[in-house]
Structure 1
Amino acid sequence: MDTMSWFSEKGVELKIEKDGRVFPVSNSSSSIIDCLISEAKNRGVSLQTGKVVTNVSCISGGKFSVKLEKRSIDYVEYLEADYLLIASGSSQQGYNLATQLGHSIIEPVPSLFTFKIDDLRLTELSGVTFPKVEAKLIFEALRTNVPQLTQVGSMLVTHWGLSGPVILRLSAWGARYLAKSDYKVLCRSFIGRFCS
């Protein structure tokens, strides 16, 4: 079963935007959060807050031992879990826990960010949205064409550079290339075939 069908079965209808992004029909992220929390409770999942996972290990029977601590008081608790999902975002602690379990970590790089561009011409356009542009990342060292490095969508000019869905997708698909190039790319006009 795919993710969209799963949410639909749980009563959360989703919609796909023209640029491929998926949102709840309610336009409220709390619809997703409420659904996930409700399903976790229905399945007997223990949700705990205010505690930090400081150690994990594999134990007999394919289970996991999880060490929890509270930073504010002298408190340590051990849990036994059948399944373990480490979802810590970019926290170094999450990488350390995964490494404890024998996983290797590919060096993370920033993704989903806006582009800082020092150009007075852009500053003058700050706040202007272009509903449909084609934006492309060009790297001198990259000799092959990577289709995902060309994106079409809306773009917002900010006082520091460029933002909007098209830029965020470029920063996601081009994250490793951008990091390798020290975030220096060639810039070309984004005004092109979509202008009338």
Structure 2
Amino acid sequence: MYDVLILGGGAAGFYAAIHIAESDPELKVAIMERGKEVLGKVKVSGGGRCNVTHAEFDPKELVKNYPRGEKELLGPFHSYCSGDTVAFFEERGISLKIEPDGRMFPTSNSSQTIIDCLVNETDRLGVKVFRNSSVTGITKVLEDDREDSAYWSIQTIRNTYRTKKLLVSTGSNPKIWGMLEAMGHTIVPPVPSLFTFNIKDDRISGIPGVSTKARINIVPGQAHIGRFNAALKKYGIQLSDLESEGPLLITHWGMSGPGILRLSAWGALFLNELNYRFPIRVNWLPDYHEGAVLGELQKIKEIEGKKTVLRTKSFDLPKRLWVSLVKASEITETDKWADISKTQLQNLAMQLTDSQFQVTGKSTFKEEFVTAGGIDLKEINFKTYESKLVPNLYFAGEIINVDAITGGFNFQNAWTGAYIAARGIVRNGES
């Protein structure tokens, strides 16, 4: 009989196990992981560097990065926030650094540093870790029909385990969600949250790797205007909600980068409703509107008349992007500023500030798969992360209907939920 069993050997599971075992070394704690490796998402996060958290230390500001969970996380972040995460790792000899965009990484630039820290801590504290232990059943056993004598029976492909308290941190796992649904929990249907846009367009097809700041808007498409408006109404969304500004990366398959990923997170449910087929408008010069750009282009035409348009990059844009947009404006390689027409100038101003692209699908963002959906937040006590429906059942991490934009925020949700669940489990045991 274990005091606490934790399902899921990811960030939340390990973090909770460490805090439980530290708070009460007498407790018998174990982690069940279905795969042969633990902490898989930690390993691939941040391109293998592990984006541990974000340097936003004000809970009121931090919650603004969560499309789902903003209201519910305010209290938990007041209890355990980014600064507490930094302190946890620094106390264990792991220093973190802040990058210009606020993301925080280990100074080693290696996710293995974080993995080693978490694994070493569970070893030191005597936490058992069972790998290759996929859960096949979860049963609550009531002896003599008394809740105070209840325990959990966890069936895996190898053995059956018993525990007094159960923490589920299995992430986006449909099989586990199904088991929890059978206990009475409501599962909000999961949809992808962080994803890139698939776009086939001559303007970007030959320039993968180009990155620049841009403003991106999702706009109604004439072919599916009815579906678009119905989706807006269904999710209570305004067009102003479907806008993002930030770095945009052109890829072999379309567009990525923080600006696109932020839009994919906030629009996750809405874009799923549209079957990931919708137009976007891109302003490659987000500090300008079309009229202002046209005015600048007219000045350049007067001053640089003898120069070719293609070779006179007039704004702070990557050269390959400028060339592509100039050609899309029906301006040839040999056209000089003095020779181009008013219509060509207007075309160029429009391409620079109001380029429209058709999105025809999505791609997973690297290996950092994040979903919107999971256990309905109304069924969780956010002071303890215990189920409101089933005593001695706790949750942490992405298994609940919380997700964030990219930048370390999803990990902070995991650390905070795991810490508060651990505290709730230990205090419950003392009562």
The code of the aligned residue for 1:49 comes to R
The question of whether the paired residues in 2 share the 8 Å contact of 1:19 and 1:153 is answered with no
CA distance in 2, matches of 1:156, 1:95: 35
| 1:184 aligned partner, one-letter code | R
Shift in Å, 1:10: 2.7
Alignment of 1:1-196 (within 5 A): 1-2=80-81, 3-60=85-142, 61=149, 63-69=151-157, 76-130=158-212, 132-138=213-219, 140-141=228-229, 142=232, 144-145=238-239, 147=241, 149-194=242-287, 196=316
Higher relative contact order (CA 8 A, sep 6+): 2
CA distance in 2, matches of 1:163, 1:170: 10
Match of 2:390 in 1: none
Amino acid at match of 2:114: I
C-alpha spacing 1:9/1:114, structure 2 compared with 1 (3 Å): same
Q: Per-residue deviation at 1:104?
A: 1.4
Which one has the bigger helix percentage?
2
Q: Secondary structure at the match of 2:195?
A: coil
Corresponding letter in the other structure for 2:258: P
Shift of 1:166: 2.3
- Whether the 8 Å contact between 1:58 and 1:101 is mirrored in structure 2 is no
Q: Is contact 2:135-2:154 (8 Å) kept?
A: yes
Structure 2: 5+ residue stretches without partners? 1-79, 143-148, 221-227, 288-314, 317-431
Q: How many residues align?
A: 188
Output the CA distance in 2 between the equivalents of 1:185 and 1:17.
Answer: 33
> Which segment drifts farther, 29-38 or 5-14?
5-14
Q: Secondary structure of 1:40's match? A: helix
CA distance change for structure 1 residues 192 and 62 in 2, over 3 Å: closer, same or farther?
Answer: farther
Counterpart residue identity of residue 127, structure 2: V
Question: What is the alpha-carbon distance in structure 1 between the residues aligned to residue 99 and residue 217 of structure 2?
Answer: 21
Alpha-carbon contact 1:56-1:101 (below 8 Å) kept: no
- In 1, Cα distance between equivalents of 2:282 and 2:99: 26
Q: TM-score normalised to the size of structure 1?
A: 0.80
Q: What is the distance in 1 between the residues matched to 2:258 and 2:118?
A: 26
TM-score (norm 2): 0.39
Q: Percent identity?
A: 38
Question: What is the CA–CA distance in structure 1 between the aligned matches of 2:150 and 2:258, rounded to whole Å?
Answer: 42
Distance 1:129 1:96, change over 3 A: same
Residues 1:173 and 1:39: Cα distance change in structure 2 (over 3 Å): farther
Separation in 2 of the partners of 1:177 and 1:17?
31
* CA–CA distance in structure 1, aligned partners of residues 87 and 150 of structure 2: 30
CA RMSD of aligned residues (A): 2.5
Distance change >3 Å, CA 63–CA 110, structure 1 → 2: same
Output one character per residue of 1:6-62: Cα deviation in whole Å (capped at 9) or x when no partner.
233333233343434332222211122222222323333211112211111233545
Structure 1 residues 13 and 81: alpha-carbon distance in aligned structure 2, compared to 1, 3 A threshold = farther
Amino acid at match of 1:135: I
Bigger Rg, structure 1 or 2? 2
Tell me: CA distance 1:36–1:179, structure 2 relative to 1, closer, same or farther (3 Å): same
SS at the partner of 1:176? helix
